[in-house]
Amino acid sequence: MTDTTTNSQPRSVRRSRPVSSYLLRRPKLRLLSLLALPMTWIIGVYIFSLFLLLITAFWNVDPFTSLVSPGFNLENFSLVLTNPSYIATSVRTLLIALTVTLVCIMFAVPLGIFMAKIARPWLRNTLAVAITLPLWAGYLVKIIAMRLVFTEEGFFNWAMSPIGVRGPGFSVPIVILTLTYLWFPYMALPVYTAIRQIPPNLFDASSDMGAKGFTTVWRVVIPLIVPAMIAGSVFTFSLSLGDYLAARFTGGATQMIGSIIAANINLNPPVAAAYSMVPITFVVIYLMVARRTGSLERM
């Protein structure tokens, strides 16, 4: 702000504006009045709720009234961290989320190279829209759609019957596929943008030096787009990690962390609260690792 207000008031001002001129001279107060409402909302409602969730994780459920009663014990945490089925679910969820991320990368890189370097402009733009559009087509809708495709009497088994292939039925591979379907655009878009930014003469240089197409991709393209892949993986990883509806509708008996949290929230809120800390921890660790690589500034 320039320092106009210290001069005498311009003569053309007819009405005095006490509030405005007061605020104009006090940027801190202006900042405070801008941030007061949103920060009250986010901290007072959301962060406070997360904090209460953490508190609840130390409480227990009264076995007679089945009501939550305040207290302090670490039983819920020790249950979550030592019970074999809880550990198995945590590990399974972690592996599913990592696999989804890898599958997304494996699809996103060739797609990005094709769009950025091979496709003509009209095809490139069409593809960019085609990838973005399903992002908004509805989360639950996409899960239902995958359920229709891979159900026993569904599209996949019908389309594959001429060659005698049958789908695996609702199981972990279909959960991975559904999650890939849900979050793929989050990986595809940053990877495509990053590949577009690679100067074309790097490709020429690589082929002049005798590199074949695959070598160029592996030695030139991949190292340059690692930051974009990490940025995309933050979404594919953390969104997959917390998901449970994909597992519920396309996973058969597959359970993920979210399934157990959701099942417990009414029966035993403290256990649900304690188990919620597991995905939060995973996501925070992942974010911190990603931040150390310096990839998050690009998001």
Distances (CA, A) of 156 to 142, 162, 180: 15, 11, 17
Determine if 91 is a binding residue for another protein (CB under 8 A). no
- Count of alpha carbons within 13 Å of 133, Cβ hemisphere only? 6
Nearer to another protein among residue 159 and residue 205 (C-beta) = 159
Amino acid at 206: S
The nearer residue to another protein, 180 or 206, going by C-beta atoms, is: 180
Site for another protein in 10-49 (CB under 8 A): 10, 12-14, 17, 19-20, 23-24, 27, 30-31, 34-35, 37-39, 41-43, 45-49
Residue 52 has which token pair? 């209460």
Residue 164 DSSP symbol:
T
Q: Please, what is the minimum distance in Å from the beta carbon of residue 204 to another protein? A: 22
| Options 71-79, 198-206, 209-217, 270-278: segment touching another protein (CB under 8 A) | 270-278
Q: Which of 195, 258, 268, 271 binds another protein (CB under 8 A)?
A: 258
Q: Is 102 one of the binding residues for another protein (CB under 8 A)?
A: no
* Shortest reach from residue 209's CB to another protein, in Å: 26
- Looking at residues 190 to 229 of the shown chain, list those that interact with another protein (rule: CB under 8 A): none
Shortest gap between Cβ of 217 and another protein (angstroms)?
13
Tell me which residue has tokens 């990690």. 241
Instruction: Sketch the per residue contact string, 135 through 174, with another protein: x for CB under 8 A, - otherwise.
Output: -xxxxxxx-xxxxxx-x-xxx--x----------------
Minimum distance, C-beta of residue 207 to another protein, in the bound complex (Å): 19
Q: Which residues of 72-89 are buried (b: 16+ CB within 10 A; e: fewer)?
A: eeeebbeebeeeeebeeb
Across the chain, the runs of DSSP E, i.e. the strands, are 60-61, 68-69
User: What does the alpha-carbon distance between residue 160 and residue 168 come to, in Å, rounded to a whole number?
Assistant: 12
Could you tell me the two tokens for 44? 């007072």
